[in-house]
Amino acid sequence: MILKDLFSNLAILVAALFLYTQVTNNNPLNQSSALKNKIAVGLLSGIFSNILMQYSLDFNNTLVDLRQIPIILAAYYGGSVPAVIGLLLVIAGRFLIGLSTSSFINFILMTLITISTLIITKFNLSKKIKIIIVLTTSNILVTLSLSYLLQDYEVLLYLIPVYWVISYLAGFISFYVVEYERSSQKLLHRYKVEAATDGLTGLNNVRKFDQIFNKIARQAEHNKETLSLLFIDIDHFKSINDTYGHKEGDKVLMELSNILKNNVHSADIVSRNGGEEFTVILTNCPVENAKQISEKIRQKVERHPFLLTTGEHIHITVSIGVACYNETTSRARQLIHEADEALYKAKQTGRNKVCIAENLLKV
Q: What DSSP assignment string belongs to 158-177?
A: HHHHHHHHHHHHHHHHHHHH
- Which helix (H) or strand (E) element contains residue 280? strand 277-283
Q: pLDDT band for 158, please (50, 70, 90 cuts).
A: confident
Give the pLDDT of residue 361.
Answer: 40
> CATH for 206-356, among 3.40.1180.10, 3.40.50.1820, 3.30.70.2520, 3.30.70.270?
3.30.70.270
Q: Does pLDDT of 222 surpass 60?
A: yes
Phi, psi (rounded to 5 degrees) for 318: -130, 150
Neighbours of 82 (CB within 10 A): 28
In percent, the amount of the chain with pLDDT more than 90 equals: 71
Of 167-176, 177-186, 292-301, least confident by mean pLDDT is 177-186
Distances (CA, A) of 102 to 5, 99, 106, 228, 281: 19, 8, 6, 71, 66
Neighbours of 155 (CB within 10 A): 13
Tell me the β-bridge partners of 231.
Answer: 279, 321
* Positive or negative torsion for Cα 79, 82, 88, 92: negative
Phi, psi (rounded to 5 degrees) for 278: -125, 160
Alpha helices in the chain (DSSP H): 2-23, 35-53, 68-78, 80-97, 101-120, 127-150, 153-196, 206-223, 237-244, 246-262, 287-303, 335-348
Distances (CA, A) of 289 to 161, 282, 284: 76, 9, 10
Which residue did the predictor score with more confidence, 9 or 352? 352
Q: pLDDT band for 89, please (50, 70, 90 cuts).
A: very high
Q: Does pLDDT of 177 surpass 50?
A: yes
Q: Is 288 a catalytic residue?
A: no
Q: Does pLDDT of 362 surpass 60?
A: no
Give the pLDDT of residue 189.
Answer: 82
Q: Does pLDDT of 26 surpass 80?
A: no
* Residues ≥6 apart with Cβ < 8 Å to 174: 13, 14, 17, 69, 73
Mean pLDDT in residue range 96-110: 93
Q: Does pLDDT of 41 surpass 70?
A: yes
Three-state secondary-structure class, residue 286: coil
Residues of each domain in the chain carrying CATH 3.30.70.270: 206-356
Q: Does pLDDT of 56 surpass 80?
A: yes
Q: Does pLDDT of 153 surpass 90?
A: no
Instruction: Tell me the per-residue pLDDT of 248-289, one tens digit each, with 9 for 90 and over.
Output: 999 999 999 999 999 999 899 999 999 999 999 999 999 999
Q: Does pLDDT of 11 surpass 90?
A: no
Which residue did the predictor score with more confidence, 225 or 60? 225
Give the pLDDT of residue 155.
Answer: 85
Let me know if domain 2-195 sits in CATH 1.20.140.10.
no
Which residue did the predictor score with more confidence, 312 or 3? 312
Give the pLDDT of residue 218.
Answer: 93
Task: Select which of 181, 248, 276, 338 is catalytic.
Answer: 276
What is the crossing angle of helices 101-120 and 80-97, to 10°?
A: 170
Q: pLDDT band for 9, please (50, 70, 90 cuts).
A: confident
Q: What is the Cα–Cα distance from 177 to 182, expressed in whole angstroms?
A: 8
Give the pLDDT of residue 6.
Answer: 79
Residues of each domain in the chain carrying CATH 1.10.1760.20: 2-195
Q: pLDDT band for 21, please (50, 70, 90 cuts).
A: confident
Q: Does pLDDT of 1 surpass 70?
A: no
